Each structure stands twice: as C-alpha cells, then as structure tokens.
Structure 1
Amino acid sequence: MTRLHADELPIDAELVRRLVDHTFPSLAVLPLRPVAGSGSSNALFHLGEELVVRMPRQPGGGPGIVKESRWSPVVARHVGVAVPEVVGVGEPDRGYPEHWSITRWLPGDVASAAMNGSTELAVDLATFLTQLRSLAVPERPVSDELSSYRALPLVDLDPDFRELLEECAPLDVGIDLDDARRVWGLATDACSTTGLPTFLHGDLLAENLLLRDGRLAAVLDLGGLAVGDPTVDLVVAWEVLDAEGRAAFRRTLDVDDDTWMTARGWALLIALMTFAYYGETMPRRCADRLVMARAALAG
C-alpha cells in the first residue's frame, strides 16, 4: 500500500483479516484482497464480492467511520442515489487504534474530470445536493461530529490559503498563482457569513462519484458530512462538468453570483491543498484538481 501520510497507520491484509475474523466471525470464510486505487483517507479491501472493509489511514480517522455509520441511513432515505450502506463497525483492536467499517460494495464507474456532454449529470448532482440540504438540521447544538472546516465561511480560511500559496510557489503546479490570489480575493469578498446552516457532503469530488451510463448512481464517503455553509459542495462543477454542464448545474440549484464566486475560491483552495500535499503520491488526483483550478480561474 502506497504511503500517503507522514503519520500513516500500518495496515495490511494480514491485520485486516485478523480484525474481520475476530469481530465478524461469520465473514471469516470470505476472501480478502486490496482494492485497487484506495483513497487517501481510508485503505480499502474487498471482502468477498459484495463487501468492502474501510480502514482509516491516519490517527483520528475513526470518528468519520462512526459518523458515516450513524448518518448514512438518514441520508439514504432522502436522496435518490445510492450512498454507503454500513454493514458493521469494528472497534479499535489487535493493535489498530481506530474504528473501521464494512460496507456494501457499490458498483459503477468513477467520474473523471471535465466530462463532455455532462448536462444530465449536472442535473443529477444538483438534485442530490438539493435533497441533501433538505435534511433537517439537528435541533440540539451541532456537535463536533457534524463540524468541519469545510463547513466554515470561506473567508475564515484566508490564512490557510495564503500559506498554501507559499507552499506551492516553488512547485510547478500548472496555474498562475498571482491569478489564483486575485480570484481568491474576489471569492472572499463575495463570501456570506450569515447563511442558514444546512447539511453538506464536504468532499463532493470525482473520486467519490460513481456513474452508470453517464448518470449519477452513487455518492461515496460520508465521513466528511457536516452542517454549516454548504458552498464547498459546488466545487464539483469545476472538476467534473464541462461548461454546458456547469451552466445547467448552477441553473438547477439557482446559485446567485456571490455564492458562485465563493465556490470558485473553494475550488482553488482544495486544488492548492492537493498540489502541496499529494504532488508526488497521487498524480491522478492532482491532474483532476488542475482541471478544477483552471476552470475556476476561467470562471
């Protein structure tokens, strides 16, 4: 398994086998093998043909697993596409310090960047976000479980963006950083800090979208689900959709100028974050984020 983080937890098939067999002995007969192209947050392992084991790669990843198990049934009842179905959650054990899960394997084709003829997909994505935002926000104060920096107003992330610009300056990231700084300023100026909080996915990007015949079939990874400013979810428009698709996406969601401008800033922030951190370890992700950043800079 490719090491992606300085604090990466040691995870291999032998460890996963021990955890599964101890916690879910009825599944011990199922063969186990790594999933090609596991994500950056979780190492994935096929368990038989219909299940997948999700193991957080870093310390502190367990709460996202628990959150997904708690909220995925709620989300599933309100959206028209598949989301992860959690079969079971395992406790820290056998020297592994985090919660982990077994979910149903969801079939489909992973979305790619700048998909041509993406108008129907754009409407699907907008519909998913409308349905997600319709979930009732818990009446109690929002707990840490549903908090995320990606649910904050964009302007709160200004120091982080400035730091990322400095980190990317010596790298050949493929965009004009001065232009990125200019667009970021416009985005933070347009940012609202008074909107009503709603549910947001938090990581609505190509690798978390499964398609069937070009239409949205499933949205993966609810570990970043949060309540707050949902503008970050709009970044999918610049990564996955073509210009016609972006227009349909914006029209279906009825996004005003200031929110659209703010979302362009989010797209730049997430791209710069990716370039600086995954520049050598995840070339496919960086290529997709370059598409997103260039489209966001263009408008």
Structure 2
Amino acid sequence: MTADTRGGDLTARRARLLVLEIARRYFGETPRRLAQRGGGLTNMVFEFRVRDGEFVVRLHSRAGQINGYLKEQWAMVQARRVGVPTPEVLEVDNEAVGLPYMVSRKVDGIDAAHHPRRVELLAELGALAARLHGVHTQGFGNNFDWSSNQLSRNANWGDYLADELCVGERLATLARHRMLKPAQTQTLLGAIDTMRRWRRAPVLHHGDLRLKNLIVAPDSGRVRALIDWDNCRSAPAPHWDLSVALHDLNVDQKESFLRGYGISPADYAEALPFMRAINTLNYAPAIEALAREKDHTRLAWYRVRLRGMFDLYP
C-alpha cells in the first residue's frame, strides 16, 4: 500500500491510486486503461480494463456508505432472479483501501434516454418495474432484508413516513413557503393520513426508474441492464417507483410506461393521489435548499409547478 492511499480527502488523484490498488489486489495486474466516469466531493466512479475484462469501481469517503453498497448488491441479486437485468457486483468491501468500494462488471451500451426508440423502451422499463415489484421484502424504507438489523427497521409504512421520510418536517417546509393552495394541502393531508394506516405488504423498488438508468444496445435498443440502485427501498407497490418514473415524461411516454407496467386506468386512478403525495413530499428538501440560498425566483417557479400551473388541461 502506498503512503498516499490512506487518510485525507477523496481527491481524484487519491481515488486513482485506490482503484489501482483494488485492481492489483483482485486481478493481479495494473489496469491497461483507467478512466474516471463520475463522482463528486465524497464519491468517485472509475472504469478500468484488465485481462479479465472491463470493470467499474465506485468509492466513497464516508465509512457508512458500505451499507449502501451492500443494499445495492442485495437488490441487484434479487432483481436478476425475477428477470430484471442488472450489473454483476463482484465485491463490496472496505478492507483493501480503508474506504467503502464496490466492484462490478462494466455493462456495454448507452443509456436509453439517448436512443430513438424511447417510447417503446419506456414500455419495457414499465414491464421491468412490474417484475421488480414481485420481489417481496420485510421492513419499510432503506433498512430491509439486505440488513440483519432489527431495531432500526420500520415495521409499517406509517413508521417510515414519520421516522425516516420525516413527513412532519416536509409538510412544514411546504407550508412555510406557501407551495400549495389550501385545497391541495387538504388533499395531501388526506392522502398521507390514509397511507399512515396502510397495512400493505412491501416489495422492492428501484427508486429512480428513468431512461438514463436503463442501458441498451446502441443499434437494436435491446435492454442490457438497469443500473444505479442507490435509491432502492422497500415500499408498497406501485406508488414510490411510479411517482419518480412518471415525473419527467410527457403524456404519451407516461401511457407507454403504464401499459408496460400492466396497470389498468382504474387502478392507476386509485393509486394517483398517493403518487402525487409522495412526489410532492419529495420536493421539500430542494425547496428548503432554495430557501437557504434565498433564491426567490426559483422558489416562485416551484410554486407554479406544485400548484399544477404547468398542466394544460382544465
């Protein structure tokens, strides 16, 4: 181990040294090619090539992130068992370099957001979501079957809303910045009150079912993998995943995804108030950040968005 690889901030230079150490440890050679593919202040993503193939390494400066990597690893194994293609995770550890890391095989292809068959691919993504929601779980939120911890596990959806999602704080944020009309607030409170009483069984959710996380063949558009499982969680189906998946889509794209998922118009209408509630609550952290920055212009536009003023239907 070189002196530069332990201690200090996770700079790009230090991260490269760590990845070289990981490659030599597991593959017995220095990579022929090493390239950074993403990252920020606390995490880095690299690709490298050795004789055994091409691999991806994710590193994180926070020791607790090893739990996040273990959660992703468990979720991807379960997803593949029900026919959802994912990257193959080969190792999750922190021993080799003193920081949490995940090593997986690289999946060749492009993200589906850049493929001309986007509408059809959304139907395929919806079908994959339906398969994924066939994975039954225990516990609600981020702590479920992947972990043997019991004391921090939410026993029901109401506990998750109160203790992990912190619904009370999010509602206070929305109210403080006047994001909703009074009638919307009452509808939101009603949906939350209903969800608190749910006793529905949880299933595995990906947490970010957007085309950018679907890797496909550049020419045929054949699906190769669903990636980026860091937001996966345990929740009743289908509300959480659909609230995220539908958010950025136009009406034709929404319909394609929902047809692929296999939900009927009547069942979609029944689920819609709860998807709207989850979507609205998930805006609260971004709104709080804008308020701290005193970005009143963007706050005003968020108010327009959440009050439904972008909808072009009566």
State the distance in 2 between where 1:84 and 1:279 align.
38
Task: Mark the CA change 1:42 to 1:261 in structure 2 (over 3 Å): closer, same or farther.
Answer: farther
State the distance in 2 between where 1:278 and 1:83 align.
35
Task: Mark the CA change 1:279 to 1:101 in structure 2 (over 3 Å): closer, same or farther.
Answer: farther
Match of 2:275 in 1: 263
Match of 1:76 in 2: 80
Match of residue 229, structure 2, among 193, 217, 222: 222
1:62 and 2:66 correspond: yes
Moved more, 119-128 or 41-50: 41-50
1:102 and 2:117 correspond: no
SS at match of 2:207: coil
The correspondence of residues 142-157 of structure 1 with structure 2, limited to 5 A, is: 142-143=144-145, 145=147, 152=157, 156=162, 157=165
CA contact (8 A) 1:52 1:104 kept: yes
Give the counterpart letter for 1:60 in structure 2. G
Q: Once the 2 structures are TM-superposed, how far is the Cα of residue 102 of structure 1 from its aligned partner?
A: 1.2
CA contact (8 A) 2:83 2:131 kept: yes
TM-score under structure 1 normalisation?
A: 0.69
Give the counterpart letter for 2:201 in structure 1. L
Give CA-to-partner distance per residue, 1:219-243, whole Å, 9 cap, x none. 2123443333232101234334221
Structure 1 alignment gaps of length 5 or more? 1-7, 170-175, 281-285
State the distance in 2 between where 1:109 and 1:177 align.
37
State the distance in 2 between where 1:137 and 1:70 align.
11
What is the CA RMSD across the aligned residues, in angstroms? 4.3
Give CA-to-partner distance per residue, 1:137-161, whole Å, 9 cap, x none. 469x954739888x94585442132
Match of 1:242 in 2: 250
Structure 2 alignment gaps of length 5 or more? 1-7, 293-297
The correspondence of residues 173-184 of structure 1 with structure 2, limited to 5 A, is: 177-179=179-181, 181=185, 184=188
1:159 and 2:168 correspond: yes
TM-score under structure 2 normalisation?
A: 0.66
Task: Mark the CA change 1:136 to 1:91 in structure 2 (over 3 Å): closer, same or farther.
Answer: same
Task: Mark the CA change 1:271 to 1:110 in structure 2 (over 3 Å): closer, same or farther.
Answer: farther
State the distance in 2 between where 1:152 and 1:27 align.
48
Match of 1:122 in 2: 122
The correspondence of residues 134-149 of structure 1 with structure 2, limited to 5 A, is: 134-137=134-137, 142-143=144-145, 145=147
Match of 1:20 in 2: 22
Structure exhibiting the larger radius of gyration computed from Cα positions: 2
CA contact (8 A) 2:206 2:231 kept: yes
1:209 and 2:214 correspond: yes
Give the counterpart letter for 2:108 in structure 1. P
Match of residue 202, structure 2, among 197, 201, 225: 197
Moved more, 258-267 or 8-17: 8-17
Match of 2:47 in 1: 46
Identical pairs, percent: 19
Task: Mark the CA change 1:112 to 1:278 in structure 2 (over 3 Å): closer, same or farther.
Answer: farther
Task: Mark the CA change 1:117 to 1:102 in structure 2 (over 3 Å): closer, same or farther.
Answer: closer
